[in-house]
Amino acid sequence: MEILYASLLGFFLFLVIYLFDNHKPSGHANLPSGKTGFLVIGETLEFLYAGWKGKFIFDRIAKYSSNVFKTSLFGSPSVVFCGVNGHRFLFSNENKLVRVWFPHSINKIFRQSTETFSTEEAINARKHIRTLIKPEGLQSHIGLMDTFAHCHFVNYWENKDIVLVFPLVKHFTFLLACRLLMSFEDPNLVAILENAVKFVLKGAFSVPIDLPGTPLNHAMKASSFIQKELLVIIKQRKIELAKGMTSPTQDILSHMLSTSDDNGSFMDEVDIANKMFGLLVGSHDNIASVCTSIVKYLAELPEIYQEVYQEQLEIAKSKAPGELLNWDDIQKMKYSWNVACEVMRLTPPSQFAFREALTDFTYNGFSIPKGWKLYWTPQSTHSNHELFPEPHKFDPSRFEGSGPPPYAYVPFGGGPRMCPGKEFARLEILVFMHHLVKRFRWEKRIPDEKIVYLPIASPEKGLPIRLFPHKA
């Protein structure tokens, strides 16, 4: 009898797989090649566990002999766009044929931050951000970044034998984001918010089930808590602005509160809290990922480390005691930035991004249905040997001169939705590199430590390293 039950169960599972695997949505002719996997689940699990070097993508490009193929990810039928042409098409058709889209778990956590992302209101919010983080506007923040980095290394790195890099760098970037976005430094509040953000990130790309104890449920509770705390900060800032106690251009929060749209309307407090929440998360975690990867590669490549060290040492020697870094110093860090760019090519902090088809359209002769989700990934070009010869070799010289071809190197995205914080990230990364290499050389404690995406690139064990301070 047990054998019969086992046989029936096996037949039932086979039938389920047969019915749902390779199923084709009806009503659409000439879809790209590919399969949509199991019902609801699709190919999401294979996608998430296929590894961070783009195996999911390149296996299918080879199988279907195409740079566009269909699949099903995060519960939705999807089309993956690969290569330079795929990037160019998506970036140049933003809000025409496609718009930004987020998986259900992201929408549940960030709510209005994502629900209004393509509206006029969101466009105005992005204008606020771009106004304050233009290169000329950021120059005044370099000294603050330098001061914060100095204090961070004195408090958490100096006089230590072994440190765990990833959590330390995340703390540094989060603290700096709080200061630059909202001008607060209360260590107790920072610690509370930082802990809550950890739950948000764990639930961001989790299974979209909101039940007690699930990662999504924890993330949603943390989201509500953070936004309540932000509302308290916003209300206090409004009072300070009304009394003239602070400047409307002090930071992004003051700018949002003080600037009206073309109709003379101001953003309401709840929406500002949502936007600040999104900025707080987005402006620190990716930068922490990049800085941690830089530590990893410099430990593995002593000849690259030595060139970065020499460049940063010359800058350090040119400064008088107590003199802070300035814009001219940043411009001298050309080789260091080429190294950071090569790190982001090999290990982009984010593995993927989504769009949604606004209407039926045709791409490369294939029909793309309205409402389908469109996926792009930096790895489809970053690891392409035609665009980057010997793609797995670390070579900062790729970024000398005019650099890679357009749409080939896209760690910050492209088009209207290119990350507005690109220059902010460059400054923060270079200031971090300056303080790191002028103080230490180091070695990895786990030579073969893996990189995982949860959801950003991070070392599986946090990247423990042994520090060797430079002799004075």
* pLDDT tens, position by position, 72-119: 887 789 999 999 999 999 999 999 999 988 888 888 888 644 444 444
**What pLDDT does 131 receive?**
57
User: Is 232 contained in some domain?
Assistant: yes
Cis peptide leading into residue 455 (ω within 30°): yes
**pLDDT above 50 for 18:** no
Residues 303 and 242 in one domain: yes
pLDDT above 70 covers a percentage of the chain that reads: 85
- Please check whether residues 323 and 258 belong to one and the same domain: yes
Whole-number pLDDT of residue 137: 65
Ranges 46-50, 181-185, 250-254, 372-376, most confident: 372-376
- Check: CB of residue 64 under 8 Å from CB of residue 31: no
pLDDT range class, residue 453, cuts 50, 70, 90 = confident
pLDDT at 14 over 70: no
> Does 192 reside within a domain?
yes
Question: CB–CB of 362/308 below 8 Å?
Answer: no
pLDDT at position 195 over 80: yes
What are the tens digits of pLDDT across the range 424-452? 899 999 999 999 999 999 999 999 999 88
Query: What pLDDT is attached to residue 1?
Result: 39
**Judgement on whether residues 230 and 368 belong to the same structural domain of the protein:** no
Q: State the CATH number of the domain containing residue 457.
A: 1.10.630.10
What is the rounded average pLDDT of the residues 411-424?
79
Does residue 22 lie in a domain region?
no
Same domain assignment for residues 200 and 279 = yes
Pair (94, 129) in one structural domain = no
Structure tokens belonging to residue 91: 């970036």
Q: Are residues 284 and 368 in the same domain?
A: no
Residues 84 and 214 in one domain: no
Q: Say whether both 129 and 251 belong to one domain.
A: yes
Is 226 in the same domain as 211?
yes
Greater model confidence, 16 or 356: 356
Instruction: Please compute the mean of the pLDDT values over residues 23-36 and round it to a whole number.
Output: 71
Residue 384 lies in a domain: no
Answer yes or no: is 383 within a domain: no
Distances (CA, A) of 460 to 113, 164, 167: 30, 11, 12
Q: Please give the residue range of the domain that contains residue 42.
A: 28-103+353-374
Give the pLDDT of residue 454. Answer: 73
| Residue 457 domain flag | yes
Q: What's the whole-number average pLDDT of the chain?
A: 85
How much is the average pLDDT of 212-226?
92
Q: Is 341 annotated as a binding residue?
A: no
pTM recorded for the entire structure = 0.88
- Among 18-32, 47-61, 234-248, 375-389, the range scoring the smallest mean pLDDT is 18-32
Q: How many domains does the chain have?
A: 2
Residue 47: CATH number of its domain: 3.30.43.20
- The answer to which of 34-38, 108-112, 394-398, 460-464 has the lowest mean pLDDT is 108-112
Whether residues 279 and 295 fall in one domain: yes
Query: What is the pLDDT, as a whole number, of residue 153?
Result: 97
Q: Are residues 226 and 277 in the same domain?
A: yes
Using an 8 Å Cβ cutoff, are 346 and 382 in contact? yes
**Residue 239 is assigned to a structural domain of this protein:** yes
DSSP reduced 3-state for 53 = coil
295 near 165, Cβ under 8 Å? yes
Based on the fold, state whether residues 189 and 59 are members of the same structural domain. Answer: no
Task: Give me the pLDDT at residue 118, please.
Answer: 46
